Copies of this chain bind each other. A is one copy, B any other.
Amino acid sequence: MNNKSKINGAESLVQTLVHNDVNVCFANPGTSEMHFVAALDKVPGIRCVLGLFEGVLTGAADGYYRMKGNPASTLLHLGPGLANGLANIHNAKKANSGMVNIIGQHTLQHLQLESPLTSDIEAIARPMSDWVKTSKNSMDLSKDGAEAIENANIAPGKIASLILPADTAWGDGGPIITAKAKATRSKVDEITIKKIANVLTNGVKSTLLLGGGALTEEATLLAGKIAAKTGCGIITEAANARLSRGAGRLNMLRIPGAGVVDRALSMLEKAGQLILVAAKPPVAFFGYPDKPSLLYKEDAPISKLVEVEEDIVSALTDLAIELGAINAVPNHVAVSKRPDRPSGNISKKKLAMAIGATLPENAIVVDESVTTGRDFFPATAGSPPHDWLNNRGGSIGYGMPVSIGAAIACPERKVILLEGDGSGMYTVQSLWTMARENLDITILIFANRTYEILRGELTNVGVQNPGPRAVDMLTLDRPYIDWVNVAKGMGVESLQVNDCDNLLKALDVGIKKDGPFLIEIIF
């Protein structure tokens, strides 16, 4: 190495990130990450986004991957900083999002002592990561970084956690490394294609269950052609990382999710034989007394077309060709039709209408509406084309951070965040980052002032007549959260509404605005 190229380990790592298209770093640094922070400054081509709590960062990386298909990096301060980000790493892992976590660590020598922040970072990372490594040498940091990126890029997307001891950051760095290209997705074999074609034409009611990468516009329209030819139904998993929908795209129902097992069982009973397209055999969100955990009968006919990590579009194309459906006009396509603009008091149904009536074209809808949102899907099916993002990991507090990542991935698109008041509080610090980066997000807070889903769940698990102290644990009153003040406090413009006219006005303002805008909806 000549002197001109002498860089430290942190610089070699940041250069390797940029060289391999990891262009964003969601960061909350501490002392052990100071050289990495300095390197972020010296190396052009990486956008640094500060978050005031680590769950904001890891959720943002999830949202970024969903919309960009490329991993972002996070910068986390030692074991506790990683711990704060774990819940949204969990959600990202369940959503098959790729992510490169850079986690600072003490110097290798300091680590042998018992100092306040010492912890076993590898052990903390492992339960939520697909790949974990501690760099042992500054010269290897770029190589380890490239390996992390290669792992994050494994289809459909993996969690890579690279632990960065401070002395590997400030020691001499090695050369920039080019990560191996993403592997080509493997193709489904002809035998499987023919087998599924036979299932679809055996005279029994069939339904395609679409998951993961089968939810792009291209993949769903192929499924629509198959439906046109065979008469099969098409549904999606209960929660989808990213679903293309709206007018001109496929109109599909989701399997009902948390808290409504009976509705899910009823839908799947009507579905007939299930064909899995990048989806898993459906299971309930929770186990309940006297209710099954599987949402299908153990002897039900379930076949699999393609796994989430395989070449999904090519499997659907081959199946459509096999069935003679490739030139069919797709079935189940939504016609362009918005609901009427509602008036009067706000109900869940009118809320759904208001969203359907105003949803801007090409919006990214991040849905953490929990109980409030059960009517939203049908009401928006004929709205202009948009993407719909759900939480696949079930850990609440995903919505605000994922919106940040989506907005940064797609600065030209409007993000509409549908957020419960309970779930919104988990990562409420997100609002500050939205303000700082002036992200184009309209935030709807559904202020029902309760963990409403749990009221239903008390009954579902067989608790009779819960007493006042139990109900207290589900209720967000005394005091009510005043979201308008909370948002203002973090620099986000905000309004409270409690009737449909003001809701629609506020939606018009928020959607027109180029930046974050929060609407607290009392109903």
Q: Which residues of A are at the interface with B, using a C-beta cutoff of 8 A?
A: 27, 29-32, 34-35, 37-38, 40-42, 48, 50, 52-53, 55, 78-81, 83-84, 86-87, 90-91, 94, 106-107, 109-110, 113-117, 119-120, 123-124, 126-128, 166-167, 170, 239, 258-259, 280, 283-287, 289, 293-294, 391-395, 397, 422, 425-426, 428-429, 432, 435-436, 453-454, 457-458, 460-463, 466-470, 472-474, 476, 478-491
Contact = CB atoms under 8 A, between A and B. Distances in A.
Contact of A119 (B110, B127, B426, B487): B127
Nearest to A466: B38
22 contacts: A29-B454, A30-B457, A32-B286, A37-B463, A37-B473, A38-B458, A53-B397, A53-B426, A81-B87, A84-B86, A106-B286, A107-B293, A109-B287, A110-B287, A113-B283, A166-B286, A428-B428, A435-B479, A478-B491, A483-B489, A485-B486, A489-B489
Given A41-B467, A454-B29, A470-B38, A87 B80 contact: yes
A37 B286 contact: no
Contacts of A52: 422, 425-426, 476
A123 B394 CA distance: 19
Contacts of A32: 286
A80 B393 contact: yes
B41 A55 contact: no
A283 B79 contact: no
A425 B119 CA distance: 23
Given A31-B285, A38-B467, A425-B432, 20 more contacts: A29-B474, A31-B286, A31-B460, A35-B462, A41-B467, A41-B470, A80-B90, A81-B395, A94-B116, A115-B283, A115-B285, A115-B293, A116-B394, A117-B393, A123-B123, A166-B287, A435-B478, A481-B491, A482-B491, A486-B486
Given A392-B116, A489-B481, A489-B483, A40 B285 contact: no
A122 to B, nearest CB: 9
Given A428-B428, A479-B432, A90 B83 contact: yes
A469 B80 contact: no
Please name the 3 residue pairs, one residue from A and one from B, whose CB atoms are nearest each other, closest first. A479-B491, A110-B287, A486-B489
A481 B432 contact: yes
Contacts of A284: 110, 115
A485 B480 contact: no
A88 to B, nearest CB: 8
Contacts of A484: 489
Contacts of A126: 123
Contact of A490 (B94, B119, B479): B479
Contact of A286 (B83, B110, B170): B110
Contacts of A457: 30-31, 34
A127 B128 contact: no
Contacts of A491: 478-482
Nearest to A126: B123
Contacts of A280: 114
Nearest to A435: B479
A87 B94 contact: no
Contacts of A124: 86, 124, 127-128
Contacts of A78: 395
Contacts of A478: 435-436, 491
A468 B87 contact: no
A259 to B, nearest CB: 8
A488 B485 contact: yes
Contacts of A42: 467
Contacts of A453: 31
A107 B291 CA distance: 12
A134 to B, nearest CB: 14
Contacts of A286: 31-32, 106-107, 110, 115, 117, 166
A116 B239 contact: yes
A485 B488 CA distance: 7
A94 B490 CA distance: 32
A37 B470 contact: yes
A302 to B, nearest CB: 14
A483 B425 CA distance: 16
Nearest to A85: B83
Contacts of A107: 286-287, 293
Contacts of A84: 55, 84, 86-87, 397, 426
